[in-house]
Amino acid sequence: MNRTNTVVLPYLGGTLTIGRGPIVVAAGPCSIESADHMAISGARARSSGATLYRGGIFKMRTSPTSFQGLGYPALDFIASAKQKMGLPFISEITDPRQIEAMLSVVDIFQVGSRNMYNYELLKELGRGQTPVLLKRAMSATIDEWIKAADYVVQGGNSSVILCERGIRTFETATRNTLDLNAVAYVKAHTNFPIFADPSHGTGRADLVAPMARAAVAAGADGLLIEAHDHPSCALSDADQAIGFDELAELVKSLEPVARAIGREIQT
């Protein structure tokens, strides 16, 4: 199979290369909330140092009675809101039947940890050319995760980014256990670009910054960070979101860490 070691996206009139080059920061709210909110928070994400904007349209929630995301209606305003904020957009897909509608607004399809084993979805994404960010399932071995990525690659789409987001363990002080061993392992033993998500990986806003720095030191090619203009008002995952001021400070603190290992942060 033809695994690639970089994923290339159009970016600010040029291109953004994810993988062996500068480290990228993807930031944004857990859920897309409105056109205005997307434009404003996207602009703030960008000015804080993020190069990708993340936000959920279709949310995976444990309970069927929890907020499930804005869904299809959001697709109407996202194209224009995206243009205002100027960052490539990454959003989660939860059903192969969403692909067509999302294609026009999404630059990277995120497959969440709950869908890592949804091989029918992965096969369908493999038939397209849009890059896929594949989160590790809560208790997937690294080997299963790589093989899940191969479901996409086998279909002809070699633009797959892996994303470590914390595994499920017995620990209760943190929501999940961010497995940076896995980041270092994927870096050493595969070609796939590898991201880390310190927000879900810790579930605690106070641990996001040190673990983001640790992920960069371990070799991550990118970070996925939940940031919100009013973290405590986020429609979902409020405990782990940081504010944009904190994000700006965090991105600044990542630069010397990246340089320490011979890399830089994408600006």
205: alpha, beta or left, given left = phi > 0 and alpha = psi -120 to 50? alpha
Query: Under the criterion CB under 8 A, does residue 171 sit at the interface with its own copies?
Result: yes
Q: To the nearest whole angstrom, how small is the minimum distance from the Cβ of residue 167 to its own copies?
A: 6
Site string for its own copies, 60-99 (x = CB under 8 A): xxxxxx----------------------------xxxx--
Provide the 3-class DSSP secondary structure of residue 163.
strand
Beta bridge partners of 202: none
- Identity of the residue, 40 or 60, whose beta carbon is nearer to its own copies in the bound complex: 60
Distance CA 89, CA 133 (A): 12
Q: What is the SS3 string spanning 18-74? A: ECCCCEEEEEECCECCCHHHHHHHHHHHHHCCCCEEECECCCCCCCCCCCCCCCHHH
| DSSP letter (8 states) at residue 167 | B
Q: How far is the CB of 215 from its own copies (least distance, A)?
A: 7
Q: Which of residues 1-60 bind its own copies (CB under 8 A)?
A: 60
Please give the size of the binding site for its own copies, defined by CB under 8 A. Answer: 68
Q: Which is nearer to its own copies, 53 or 151 (CB)?
A: 151
Let me know: does 177 contact 171? Beta carbons within 8 Å.
Answer: yes
Residues that bind its own copies (CB under 8 A): 60-65, 94-97, 114-115, 117-121, 123, 137-139, 141-144, 147-148, 150-151, 154, 167-174, 177-182, 184-185, 187-188, 201-202, 204, 206-207, 210-211, 213-219, 253, 256-257, 259-261
